[in-house]
Each structure stands twice: as C-alpha cells, then as structure tokens.
Amino acid sequence: MKLSQRAKNIAPSATLAIAAKAKELRAQGKPILSFSAGEPDFTSPRAACDAAIEAIKRGETHYTPNSGIIELKKAISDYYRTRFGLDYPTAEIIVTSGAKPLLYEALQALVDPGDEVLLFAPAWVSYVEQINLAEGLAVPVKTLESGFVPTRDEIEKNITPGTTGMIINTPNNPTGAVYDEPTLRMLADVAVRHDLWIIFDEIYERLVYGVTKHINILQAAPEIRGRVILANGVSKAYCMTGWRIGYALGPREVIMKVDDIQSHLTSNASSIAQWASVGAIKEAESDVERCRVEFGKRRDLIYGLLSGIDGLHIQKPDGAFYAFVDIRGAKVPDDIEFCQRLLEERHVAVVPGAAFLAPGFLRMSYACSEADIKEGVARLAKFVDSL
Ligand SMILES: Cc1ncc(COP(=O)(O)O)c(C=O)c1O
C-alpha cells in the first residue's frame, strides 16, 4: 500500500515506545522499574467511579451532544469560576476525548499550511507532531539557559511575519517548571504585539508543590481572553487517564469550529466517562489534594536523591510529576544511548530528552512508589558510576 507523506513523516510517541519496551522486558521476567509513564499511579476517585456506575444503570449509553453533556460543561464552568475567577458560559466550553485530541482539533482550527507556531523547548513532543499534521511549522524557543522559563529576547528572535500562535504549557511536561505572573504577562504582551493566538495547556494545574502557585494566563492578563484557548482535562488532576476526558474553554467562534471538527472525528467523548468527570469535578476535591500532597513528598525525595549523584544536574521541579535531569556531564555519547543502556544494564526505564527537543537530558516520572524511587535512583547512580 502506498503511504501518505504525512504518515511517513510522523514519529511515534517516544514515551509510549519506552513504556512498551519496559513492559516487554518485564514480561520476560526482568526486574524493571519504570519511570516513563505520564500518568498518576493512584486509582480514580470513588466519586468518579460511582457516578459512572450510576450513569450506566440509568442507561446513559447513547450519543451525547457533540460538545459534551450540559451537566459536565456546567461543572467545568463553575470550576473555572471558583478556581480562577473566570466566567465561561457553557457555549464557550467543549468536552473532548482527552486533552490530546482537543489540542489536535484546536490546531486544525487555527493553523494554516506554513503558519509558524512557537513552543517552548524542552516541550511535550505531541505538540510538534500535531502542528506538523496541521501542516504548520513548529518553532522551538530555547529555555535551557533560563531555568526552563521563556525569555522575551529568545521569543523575539524566533518571531517572523509567518508566526501566528504559541503553545504555553505550565506546569510543564517534561521540566516541571511553573511560569510565574511576570512571565505570563510578558507572554501575553508578546501575543498582543504580534497578534498571536495562545493555546494555554494547564493540564497539570492541580499539581504544584511547596509555595508554588499555578496561575492561569487570564488571571495575569485578562485583556487577552479573545486570543486564548484554555486546555485542561481530568487525566492528571483526578488520576483519570484511562477515561479520556479533556476540555477547552475559549472564544465562542473558535469553540464552534473545534466542535465542527470534532463532529467529523470522534463525535462526543464517552458518555459514561463524561458522567464520571462530573462526579470527579464536583466531589473529588479531597482526592486531588491527597494525591498532590503525596506527589509533593515524592518530588522532594527524588530531587534530594538525584541531586546527590555526581555528573548529573537537576533543577528542582515545582509542578507536574517529572524530574528533568541534565546528563550532559555523564560519560555517554547521548541521551538515547544513556536511556537504552540504563534499561538494558540496570533495568530502569526513563525517557530520553531528545523526545522533548532536549538532547542531553532525561525525564523521570515520579508517579510511582517511594520504594521504587529509592531503588531506581540507586540503580541510576550505580550506572553513572560505572561509566
Ligand atoms: C502537556 C500535556 N498536555 C496534554 C496531555 C494529554 O492528556 P490527555 O490526553 O490524557 O487528557 C498530556 C499527557 O501526557 C500532557 O503531558
């Protein structure tokens, strides 16, 4: 069969590939410790599961409105009002089958062939592939020398007449960086000066530690509301990755177009999962806090242990559940070889930085037990020592 150029160009998700390789080795009986998963290891909240079971019993098993059930859109609207003081009517909200399809649909709605889209590297690699699928051009802006936070100088260097938008992700996957208010105001100002749209991916907004606060860009710069799509979902905050519910809030005309695209793609998100999400958003606040506190302890643990390894460098992550480690001081040619050898020789699975436009780094997810963190980092230290 002749494959399309589009299919030939697409790279598979490196994160999923490592996770699959780790599973394969584990099935062969190898004592694998995996730090590759981008998902919380806790079970979904009771309130979500009960709401789903009730929905099945009530027979909520049919198509729903394409953009989501009104009960969920109201719950999202109330949540944004309470949490961020932002008022979004339900007509400016769409529910999708996870945040990933939502980002795809939004980029299909916003990007014309050749449009340049800024993203801040290290970056979640699906952004790049999704921009490519929309025939746009992903333009990575470096943040390595500025503590994983973008600077105006670096951004301005990369803006051309072809730049149409930017994707902002805070708390950040893979770095764990959380953007402060002046940074968000600077980004808003750049968007206004250059007439750019913004996709603001805040899927990790509930997972910040210590004194760090997550700030929504519209809290920092309410005047740019007309050029912002807020992307969020229940996957990370409520430990509901398998249910596949994401959502977006934005200007009505854009949300309507995302709705049209979705109507030809997935139609509505799963009816049962939507009801589960109503249960989660309305009733699972204490579960969110319990997980956040637990992740905060693990963050401190992994940061302390990694900081003690000679030859590696780590900046303290403020949010999400990733440690992003600089291995440029280790005696291995590159991060891909480092990760392959670490997996084969010490049975520890981590994701190479190259998967996030950051060669020379690796990402460790600490969504696993404290015992695994201790053992995994000990194996990593021995590996680095052996080089
Ligand atoms: C930055 C970021 N955005 C969006 C997503 C998509 O989440 P989901 O499709 O599970 O809702 C992820 C998942 O890993 C992510 O890391």
- pLDDT surpassing 80 at residue 13: no
Angstrom distance (rounded) from CA 367 to CA 39: 7
pLDDT band at 23 (very low <50, low <70, confident <90, very high): confident
pLDDT, position 316: 97
182 and 271: one domain?
yes
d(CA 318, CA 303): 11
Q: What CA–CA distances, in Å, run from 309 to 303, 312, 377, 383, 386?
A: 10, 6, 9, 11, 12
**Domain end among 226, 257, 283:** 283
Ligand 1, atom 7: closest residue by C-alpha? 99
The yes-or-no verdict on residue 11 having pLDDT over 90 is no
16 in the same domain as 75: no
Helices (H), 29-159: 46-58, 70-84, 99-110, 125-133, 152-158
* Domain boundary residue, one of 231, 266, 283: 283
What count of other Cβ atoms lies within 10 Å of the Cβ of residue 85? 11
User: Are 68 and 200 in a shared domain?
Assistant: yes
% of the chain exceeding 70 in pLDDT: 100
* Ligand 1 centre distance from Cα of residue 99 (Å): 6
Co-location of 146 and 21 in the same domain: no
Q: Tell me: do 177 and 208 sit in the same domain.
A: yes
Both tokens of 111, joined, read 């990007």
CATH label of the domain that carries residue 297 = 3.90.1150.10
- Confidence bin at 143 (pLDDT 50/70/90): very high
If asked whether residues 339 and 276 sit together in one domain, one would say no
Residue 44: per-residue pLDDT: 98
126 ligand 1 Cβ < 6 A: no
- Beta-bridge mates of residue 33: 348
What is the C-alpha separation between 248 and 209, in angstroms, rounded? 25
Q: Which pair of structure tokens corresponds to residue 324?
A: 């992003």
- My answer on whether 19 and 67 are in the same domain is no
Q: How many structural domains does the chain have?
A: 2
Which residue carries 């699975």 as its tokens?
A: 349
207 lies in the same domain as 129: yes
Q: Same domain for 297 and 224?
A: no
Range of the domain at 320: 5-43+286-386
Q: How do strand 116-121 and strand 137-142 relate by DSSP bridges?
A: parallel
CA 141, 132, 99: angle at the middle one, nearest 5?
A: 85
Between CA 117 and CA 127 the distance in angstroms is 10
Mean pLDDT, all residues of the chain: 96
pLDDT at position 77 = 98
Q: Are residues 218 and 290 in the same domain?
A: no
| 137 lies in the same domain as 104 | yes
Q: Which of 200, 236, 277 to mutate to test the pocket of ligand 1 (most atoms within 8 A of CB)?
A: 236
Q: Please, what's the largest Cα pairwise distance for the chain?
A: 60
Residue pointed to by tokens 């030809």: 264
Q: Is 150 in the pocket of ligand 1 (CB under 6 A)?
A: no
Whether residues 279 and 348 fall in one domain: no
Residue nearest to atom 16 of ligand 1 (CA): 173
Of 277, 271, 281, 273, the C-alpha closest to 59 is 271
Q: Please indicate whether residue 361, judged by its CB atom, sits closer than 6 Å to ligand 1.
A: no
Q: Which residues are CB-contacts of 12 (< 8 A; sequence separation ≥ 6)?
A: none
Pocket test of ligand 1: the residue of 94, 100, 214 to mutate, having most ligand atoms within 8 Å of its CB, is 100
CATH of the domain at 226: 3.40.640.10
Query: pLDDT above 90 covers what percent of the chain?
Result: 92
Q: What does R_g of the chain's alpha carbons equal in angstroms?
A: 21
Q: Residue 238's closest CA among 72, 26, 117?
A: 72
**C-alpha–C-alpha distance, residues 106 and 136, integer Å:** 13
- C-alpha span between 25 and 120 (Å, rounded): 34
**pLDDT (tens digit, 9 = 90+) per residue, 75-103?**
999 999 999 999 999 999 999 999 999 99
Distance (angstroms) between ligand 1 centre and the Cα of 193 equals 29
Boundary residue ending a domain (283, 305, 338): 283
Residue at 195: amino acid letter: D
Closest C-alpha to ligand 1, atom 1 = 173
Strands 33-34, 246-249: parallel, antiparallel or unpaired by DSSP?
A: unpaired
Structure tokens at 329: 């001081």
User: Of 102, 235, 266, which is best to mutate to test ligand 1, by the most ligand atoms within 8 angstroms of its C-beta?
Assistant: 235
Closest-lying ligand 1 atom to the alpha carbon of residue 241: 10
Q: Helix or strand or coil: residue 25? A: helix
Residue 39 CA: which ligand 1 atom is closest?
14
Cis previous bond, 122, omega within 30: yes
Q: What is the pLDDT of residue 17?
A: 76
Regarding beta strands 116-121 and 163-169, do their DSSP bridges make them parallel or antiparallel, or are they unpaired?
parallel
